Structure 1
Amino acid sequence: MIRVVLADDEALIRGAVAALLGLEPDLSIVGEAGDGPAAVELVAAHRPDVAVVDLQMPGMTGLEVAAEIVTVHPACAVVILTGHSRPALLRRALQSGARGFVPKGSPASVLADVIRRVHDGGRYVDPALAAEALLAPECPLTPRELDVLRLAGTDVPVATIARQAHLSTGTVRNYLAAVVAKLEVATRAEAVAMAEEQGWL
């Protein structure tokens, strides 16, 4: 029997997925969580074989949960469920230690098969998403530029960003100017919107 922990902040979706997976003769749902920290606690307590984790949850993102689970219980394979099929998110999910990446619109039978596959040591990435990832442009921003943009948001003062990043205000302005130029947008707000849409932040 494959023991599964399921984490999703939407109770209706979580309950439906749990009910459908519970119909599989070789799968057993041993815990359900509504946020990231609770998911990590459940994995530590129940030591499941597989954790199915929503990408967007309060407290910790699915990527942060995956990275934490790999640390506290490396024998547990993580499958990320997502409504966002951006290629950059796929790369980040795999880097976090996730072994599966499945769109939320997939049939329950597909998710069940993915759980079995990762439990057996394999990996699974939705084929359409994998094709998109191969064609997607790489992020043109450096890690430091991304850090500054992440702190910047759309209207955070430069002085505040500088304090948080331990940089001078002039250096922050230079980073933000470089970001705007590289992304070929007119404003910082447009840069943030583009980076979020691409899954770079």
Structure 2
Amino acid sequence: MIRVLLLENARLVRGAFAALLSREDDIEVVAEDDGKGDVVARAVACRPDVAVIDVDSGEGEEIAVRGELRARLPECRMLLMMASTTPERLRRMLDVHAAGVISTDAPPDRLVHGVPKLVRGQRFVDPEFALAALDAGANPLTPREVEVLRLTADEHRRAESRATAPFVTRAA
């Protein structure tokens, strides 16, 4: 029996994933979480074979990137879900020791077929993401140059946000 932990912040979506996976004879959803509590402690308590993590929520990506789950449960394979990705983000997610990456827009059977592959020690990358990465040209920028551009863009967005924030007046 394949034991699965679902980490998805939307309760309805999480329930749909649990129902889908639970229909399989060899898959058991042992825990569901919204990512706001101590997910690592919950995972250690239920000892899943696979953690299906929505990384589009801030908590999900943070959990995947920090690597605590991997450090505490090295036998647990991570299948990261995301709505879309870039070749750089795909590489970053695979670099954090994710065993697989799947689109949240993938057909349901893709999730059902991906989970057992991870348990067998195989990697699973959503074909749509793989094709997009193959079609993308090589990035001429170094990783540091990309990081500097991201930081600059983030600061620019924050500055715009501060400039367009409504004025607050103080009562005398």
TM range (shorter): 0.7 to 0.9
> Counterpart of 1:114 in 2: which secondary structure?
helix
Larger deviation, residues 106-115 vs 90-99: 106-115
> How does the TM-score come out when normalised to structure 1?
0.69
Indicate how the Cα distance of structure 1 residues 78 and 142 shifts in structure 2: closer, same or farther if over 3 A, else same: closer
Query: Which residues of structure 2 form unaligned runs of 5+?
Result: 161-172
**What TM-score, normalized by structure 2, do the two folds share?**
0.80
In 2, the alpha carbon distance for the partners of 1:145 and 1:134 equals 19
If each structure's helix is expressed as a fraction of its own residues, which one has the higher value?
A: 1
Do the aligned partners of residues 18 and 131 (structure 1) sit closer, same or farther apart at CA in structure 2, a change above 3 Å counting?
A: same
CA contact (8 A) 1:63 1:96 kept: no
Residue 151 of structure 2 corresponds to which residue in structure 1? 150
Match of 1:181 in 2: none
My pick for the range that moved more, 5-14 or 52-61, is 52-61
The 1:38/1:107 distance shift into structure 2, 3 A limit, reads farther
- Letter of the aligned partner of 2:74 in structure 1? P
Could you say what the CA RMSD is over the residues aligned between the two structures, in angstroms?
Answer: 2.5
Structure 1 runs, 4 residues or longer, greater than 4 Å off: none
In structure 2, the CA distance between the partners of 1:149 and 1:114, relative to structure 1 (3 Å rule), is closer
Q: CA contact under 8 A between 1:36 and 1:62: conserved in structure 2?
A: no
C-alpha change, 1:19 and 1:130, in structure 2 (3 Å) is same
Q: Distance in 1 between matches of 2:118 and 2:105?
A: 19
Task: Tell me the residue number matched to 2:117.
Answer: 117
2:79 is the alignment partner of 1:89: no
SS in 1 for 2:156: coil
Unaligned runs of 5+ in 1: 158-188, 190-201
Offset of residue 128 of structure 1: 2.4
